[in-house]
Structure 1
Amino acid sequence: MAAPNTSYLYEAAIHTIKRMRSFTASEDFKAIEAEEVEVRLQTLMQAWAQVKDCEAKLAATGDLLTNAEVERNMVAAEQSYFPAYAALEKREKELAPRPDTRETPAIAVQVNLPFAEHDVKNTWGTFDGSFTKWQSFKDRFTAAVHANEKIAPAYKFAYLKSSLSGRAARTLGEWQQTDQNYGRAWARLNQVYNTLRAENSFARFSGFQF
């Protein structure tokens, strides 16, 4: 049997996803502002990652294969998560500021990275948390930085943090630049965005539109 804590976390995450779906279908959702959209998207993504993590633990104990209630919860979570995510992302795009097309003087911005001996030109670009851009960013960053044995993990973390913005940056919070935290940060990004990418593929196959 699964640990009671796992079952509790699983049910709590599903409840969060269901509440988020109800909110996105309500009249109040139409008045939501950009800051709240970002917070709710982050909350929804974290709840979904928790659901998948708990499912793996339940599967390891055999509960996922024998418990009909867990199976029903899985279906309910999927039916709530995909429409909620789609609605929030659509609202985020609606509230995104329009680019200023007026010409403005160029401003030089210098980012000091404390490892000139390992300096690598950024050929991997940036990542803002859009799951459709994750795989290409991941592949390029892996080739240029993650798999480069000449760069110490703490320095890799500096490159990674300087490449993230928006939701992706908030996924890592305020972790300090250490060797250990780089491994945690890279694993966290992969956990969140590999899951989102896989589930989006399923959603498209199932008829959901993002």
Structure 2
Amino acid sequence: MRGLWTLTAALLAAGLVLVGLGLRGADGPPQPPAWAAVPRAAEHRGPVLDRSAPVQVAVPSIGVRAPLARLGLAGDGSVQVPPADRLNEAGWYDRGPTPGERGAAVILGHVDSAKGAAVFYELGRLRPGHRIEVTREDGKTAVFTVESVERVSKERFPTNRVYGPLDHAGLRLVTCGGSFDQSKRSYHDNIIVYAAQTAVRQTASR
């Protein structure tokens, strides 16, 4: 079992190199300060929920409200990314926990394109204490509190921290960041937001 996890983790880390491939804004996306990477544990944690697929992610402090697509693994074993022509949509990695379940749920999104900002362009502005809300198919909204935000080289992607087991319901948001390599048409780094579920509420009827 451990060998299988190690192989899967390596493939997932490799796949994240593709997030934001070939996309670039005029001035570059915001980057988090070093102090934001220091974990600040949420004051309390909400109840762990049963499995239910997420349908929308909202990050009020940066004005994000986006539908969620399901992402699996590509034919080469790398993690899929949202289609490049749907830049205002994020994707949930459906081989892992759903947001609200015990474990680390992972949501990926592009940062920008030649046409401008994409769904997670402002992700680097998040700070510990900010709120993230994920609406689920079961009518519940899992509310998460940001604990840390870090910028890391794609060559040193922290696979275990992002995908590893947790004793609570956690969430990771991932996009590109850092400087842009014109020759490779790719950003050098990833921006990763770590959050813990702190509340659950019933979604209002539509």
Fold agreement, TM-score > 0.5: no
TM-score normalized with structure 1 length: 0.22
Structure ranking higher in strand proportion: 2
TM-score normalized with structure 2 length: 0.22
Structure ranking higher in helix proportion: 1
